[in-house]
């Protein structure tokens, strides 16, 4: 597994269905964070130089490297903080209002 | 240490060990945890006391860590790490890291004695304090690491007082005074410096401690996108410093470059908006005193 993943979770119906100890499976996610965003980052692939500063500085790990040495966003987990756009030395990332983004 | 390959953004692992958590947008603390886990790798056992990172990572049935991680008691992070190390060694898992991620309150106030004990035992553990300068998880209360003039819910700014009346506790030197194997300060604004210090901590035979300055957009009243640049600016204007302690010697990694930025830097943040010129003078003189002392002793 490369990173924690969304897994199907059946809500317990009875107190007996809850785990008895305070432990749980690692890397188990039940919901995405996309709904937090007002602005969404959009990268201009032609301007991106693949320096990966945004990748380094993303608190959510929502940026990944692509095979052609550029970046792509995981919009399910991007919270739209804008650090990537603000720190990009080449202005390759712009923050676009969510409903205006294609 | 020279032959060890430097970990950078280009060659670091693609694995995300802290992902899908519910930290606020632009959180500096979660960036500190994410980068640390990427350096330490999957054979890492983490303990987190009450604090933002345990609150955002362990919301049942969510578990945002890909490796083994546990919530420790609030004052017991250090002792829990010692126990985990002893357990791993007893089972023969010597090729592992044991790491704790505690906030500034969980380190400087509540968890201080357990941390002191762990350093005293010389256990091979790594303790990371992400310092967002108040108890952010419970709604911004003043901690021992809250700097002078900060507006928090327990040190409100008004007619009589302008925020916190005490200066930041000198935790880095308190830790170094234990003659710890490795201690360092870092900032999320200087990520490469932080990565280097993490790699060093991973190779130290005894206890290591990293104190990372982590911005908190929610508690500091700053816009989320400036999270990293403000952490950089804090180092540039001298409110925070990058230093290391190893082989019983202190070393400053970065000199004070832009002291004139101080006022502008403070007034950008909601928590310092109320500061009058005389309060800024107090902060400035404390900074100058601290830097003069550091340059004289360590420079």
Does B3 reside within a domain?
no
Asked whether the predicted pLDDT for residue A49 surpasses 70, the reply is: yes
Least confident window among A10-19, A63-72, B93-102, B130-139: A10-19
pLDDT of residue B4: 74
Cβ-in-10-Å burial (0-12, 13-18, 19+) of B144 comes to middle
- In this prediction the pTM is 0.95
Distance CA B160, CA B78 (A): 39
Residue B68 resides in a domain: yes
When pLDDT is cut at 50, 70 and 90, the band that residue B8 belongs to is very high
Query: Chain A closest CA to B169's CA: distance in Å?
Result: 27
Burial per residue of B231-259, b for 16 or more beta-carbon CB atoms within 10 angstroms, e otherwise: bbbbbbbbbbbbbbbbeeebebbeebeee
Sign of the alpha-carbon torsion through A39, B57, B39, B294: positive
At B249, list the tokens: 């010697």
pLDDT of residue B299: 80
Nearest by CB to B20, which of A65, A77, A82?
A: A77
Residue B130 has pLDDT above 90, yes or no: yes
- Give yes or no for residue A82 having a pLDDT over 90: yes
Residue B224 has pLDDT above 60, yes or no: yes
- Does the residue B270 lie in any domain? yes
Query: Residue B208's closest CA among B295, B56, B24, B85?
Result: B85
Q: What does the pLDDT look like over B71-86, one tens digit per residue? A: 999 999 999 999 999 9
The predicted model gives B281-290 an average pLDDT of: 97
Q: Is the pLDDT of residue B2 over 60?
A: no
Nearest CB partner across the interface for A59, out of B9, B23, B65: B23
Q: What is the Cα–Cα distance from B63 to A6, expressed in whole angstroms?
A: 10
Instruction: Return the pLDDT at A19.
Output: 80
Out of B9, B15, B191, name the one closest to residue A3 (CB).
Answer: B15
Query: Which structural domain, as residue segments, surrounds residue B107?
Result: 28-298
> What is the CATH number for B113?
3.40.50.970
Q: What mean pLDDT is reported for chain A?
A: 92
Q: Quick one: pLDDT at residue B168? A: 95
Question: Which has the closest alpha carbon to B207: B98, B119, B78?
Answer: B119
Residue B125 in any domain: the answer is yes
Number of domains making up chain B = 1
By C-alpha distance, the chain B residue nearest A77 is: B20
Q: Averaged over A55-76, what is the pLDDT?
A: 96
Contact A9 B61 (CB under 8 A): yes
How many Å is the maximal CA-CA distance in chain B? 61
Judged by CB atoms closer than 8 Å, whether chains meet at B26 and A52 is answered as: no
- Domains of chain A, residue spans: 33-101
Q: Which residue of A has its CA nearest to B20?
A: A77
Q: What is the mean pLDDT of chain B?
A: 95
Instruction: Assess whether the previous peptide bond of B124 is cis (omega < 30° from 0).
Output: no
State how far residue B297 is from chain A, nearest Cα, in angstroms. Answer: 33
Question: Is the pLDDT assigned to residue A100 strictly greater than 90?
Answer: no
In a domain, B175, yes or no: yes
Partners of residue A6 in chain B, C-beta under 8 Å: 20
Q: What pLDDT score does A102 carry?
A: 63
Q: Which of A23, A32, A61, A66 to mutate to test the interface with B (most CBs of B within 10 A)?
A: A61
Q: What is the mean pLDDT of residues B16-25?
A: 96
Residue B239 has pLDDT above 90, yes or no: yes
- Specify the CATH architecture of the domain A33-101: 2-Layer Sandwich (3.30)
| Closest residue in A to B32 (Cα–Cα) | A59
Give the chain B residue whose CA is nearest to the CA of A28. B63
d(CA B131, CA B241): 13
- Both tokens of residue A59? 């608190």
Whether the pLDDT of residue A33 is over 80: the answer is yes
């Amino acid at each position: 597994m490369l990173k924690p993943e969304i897994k199907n979770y059946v809500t317990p119906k009875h107190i007996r269905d809850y785990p008895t100890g305070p432990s749980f499976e690692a890397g188990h996610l039940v919901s995405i964070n996309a709904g937090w965003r007002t602005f969404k980052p959009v990268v201009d692939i032609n301007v991106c130089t693949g320096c990966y500063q945004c990748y380094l500085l993303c608190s959510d790990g929502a940026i990944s490297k692509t095979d052609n040495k550029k970046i792509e966003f995981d919009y399910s987990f991007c919270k739209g903080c804008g650090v990537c756009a603000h720190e990009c030395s080449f202005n390759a990332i712009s923050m676009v209002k969510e409903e205006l983004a294609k | 240490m020279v032959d060890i390959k430097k970990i950078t953004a280009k060659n670091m692992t693609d694995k995300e060990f802290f992902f899908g958590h519910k930290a606020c947008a632009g959180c500096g603390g979660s960036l500190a945890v994410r980068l640390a886990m990427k350096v330490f790798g999957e054979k890492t056992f983490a303990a987190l006391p009450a604090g933002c990172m345990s609150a955002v990572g362990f919301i049942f049935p969510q578990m945002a860590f890909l490796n083994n991680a546990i919530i420790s008691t609030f004052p017991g992070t250090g002792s829990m790490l010692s126990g985990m190390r002893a357990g791993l060694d007893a089972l023969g898992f010597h090729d592992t890291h044991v790491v704790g991620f505690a906030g500034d309150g969980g380190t400087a106030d509540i968890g201080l004695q357990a941390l002191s004990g762990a350093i005293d035992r010389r256990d091979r553990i790594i303790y990371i304090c992400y310092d967002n300068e108040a108890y952010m998880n419970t709604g911004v209360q003043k901690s021992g690491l809250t700097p002078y003039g900060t507006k928090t819910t327990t040190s409100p700014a008004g007619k009589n007082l302008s925020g916190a009346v005490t200066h930041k506790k000198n935790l880095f030197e308190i830790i170094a005074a234990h003659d710890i194997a490795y201690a360092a300060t870092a900032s999320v604004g200087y990520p490469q410096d932080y990565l280097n210090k993490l790699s060093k901590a991973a190779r130290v035979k005894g206890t290591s401690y990293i104190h990372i300055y982590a911005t908190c957009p929610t508690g500091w009243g700053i816009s989320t996108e400036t999270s990293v640049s403000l952490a950089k600016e804090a180092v540039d204007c001298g409110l925070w410093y990058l230093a290391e302690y190893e082989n019983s010697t202190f070393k400053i990694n970065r000199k004070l470059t832009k002291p004139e930025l101080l006022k502008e830097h403070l007034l950008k943040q909601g928590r310092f908006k109320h500061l009058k010129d005389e309060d800024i003078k107090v902060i400035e003189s404390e900074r100058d005193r601290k830097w003069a002392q550091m340059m004289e002793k360590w420079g």
